[in-house]
Structure 1
Amino acid sequence: MSSETPERQDGQGAGYRRSAGSARGQARRRELLERVTDDLAVNGLVDFSLRRAARAAGATHKVLLYHFDSAEDLLGQAVFTLRERRIGNAMAAMAEGAERRTLAERVRVAWHTLRDEEPGLQRVLDQAIGLAMYDPARYGDLGHGASAQYLPLLVSYCPPHWTGPRKLEVAQMILATLRGFTVHRAIGGEPEGAEAGFAALVRALDREEA
């Protein structure tokens, strides 16, 4: 029996079931997820389906359902991966001279990174929030997951001497405000309006840190 037989049997058999937790199985899962994630970054979420994901991954939909619990699970993992890319971009932009920056300056760098990021990435992540709002019973985790990923980074921007609750309160304010600006831009709002709002946020953060 060849090593490819388990996938052709669509996940049937104890040997294949055991293989998913192996190093090779985990590598296969990462490969599939990366391919689906790249497809989302280009084509968005609007017509996402397991069939489309299988085409992008170069596999059958049954193979995907072996490695992921459901289409929703696969979508959630792909969106999580895209957010990780966004966070990585922000952290890379923050790396130079980060220790000398105020909270407002750090948020300014993060905003410029969001504002100037590749359109496909921004579109997909905005669509994910839209899905969470449209059908919270099915896609609510796409929204909750965003906060869980972004808040630790924003908390880390806050002055170290602040209390934990204060850091979290300010981080939540920053996240809600920046999210509003990105949605404003996504629906064709005037860029000047978002920039004026961001300037007001910076002033508020300067007062908070003073």
Structure 2
Amino acid sequence: MNTSAHDGSRAGYRRSAGSPRGEARRRELLDRVTDDLAVNGLVDFSLRRAARAAGTTHKVLLYHFDGAEDLLRQAVFNLRERRIGNALPAIAARGGTLADGVRAIWPILMEEEPGLRRVLDQAMGLAMYDPARYVELGREASGQYLPLLRSLCPDGWTEERRTRVAQMVLATLRGFLLERLIGEDDAGVGAGVEALVGMLEREEAAG
């Protein structure tokens, strides 16, 4: 992936913030770049590739974004929002407990479009490989997922307990996703998810 300065990320074009029309245009461009990422992944991402996908020039993108890395970060954020949006109806249909939520989320994570899953895996890989440049890709993931998981915790739990359990669930699901990506034991991963759900059911029943 190429997000270096020669792509124009330091050209100094002004941002479009503050204008409703400018924000609508920024949103349109971001959606087009997000769609491209979902199909083609993060490999060889550049400002010029993004401009081609958006049907514009790299200078126009620099008017609306702070460079290639900012655009990439916002597009990955966009993809996670799509993942969360896909999960919400299934969670609501299950009944709304944390255990029900995890049971509803897991099949969606397994069945979602391959491009979406690949890009989000690549984003986490970048955050681990080069944290000096891409740590926000990982931090923002937690910032997006944890509020949903906390919201599913019982009303009587303290905020500290909600956060602690939500962090545990997120870390465990990430581990299962990684294991499924690099391993071949789908049955074992499935059993692990069921064990996690069972533990959460006992935790919620304990009050």
Please report the TM-score for the alignment, with normalisation by the length of structure 1: 0.87
How far residue 11 of structure 1 moved from its aligned partner, in angstroms, is: 8.8
Identity, % of aligned pairs? 71
Q: Which runs of 5+ in 2 are unaligned?
A: 1-10
Distance 1:28 1:206, change over 3 A: same
Alignment of 1:32-71 (within 5 A): 32-71=29-68
Q: Paired residue for 1:203, among 168, 192, 198?
A: 198
Aligned partner of residue 56 in structure 2, secondary structure: coil
How far residue 22 of structure 1 moved from its aligned partner, in angstroms, is: 1.7
How far residue 189 of structure 1 moved from its aligned partner, in angstroms, is: 3.4
Select the structure of larger CA radius of gyration.
Answer: 1
1:92 and 2:80 aligned = no
1:129 and 2:120 aligned = no
Alignment of 1:179-190 (within 5 A): 179-190=174-185
Q: Paired residue for 1:154, among 142, 146, 149?
A: 149
Q: Which runs of 5+ in 1 are unaligned?
A: 1-9
Q: Could you say which residue in structure 2 is the equivalent of 1:5?
A: none
Alignment of 1:172-183 (within 5 A): 172-183=167-178
1:120 and 2:105 aligned = no
How far residue 196 of structure 1 moved from its aligned partner, in angstroms, is: 1.6
The one-letter amino acid paired with 1:39 is: D
Worse-superposed segment, 80-89 or 106-115: 106-115
How far residue 49 of structure 1 moved from its aligned partner, in angstroms, is: 1.0
- For the 8 Å contact 1:11–1:63, the answer to whether it is kept is no
d(CA) in 2 for partners of 1:19 and 1:207?
50
Q: Could you say which residue in structure 1 is the equivalent of 2:164?
A: 169
1:24 and 2:18 aligned = no
- Cα-Cα RMSD: 1.8
The one-letter amino acid paired with 2:85 is: G
d(CA) in 2 for partners of 1:59 and 1:102?
45
How far residue 74 of structure 1 moved from its aligned partner, in angstroms, is: 0.2
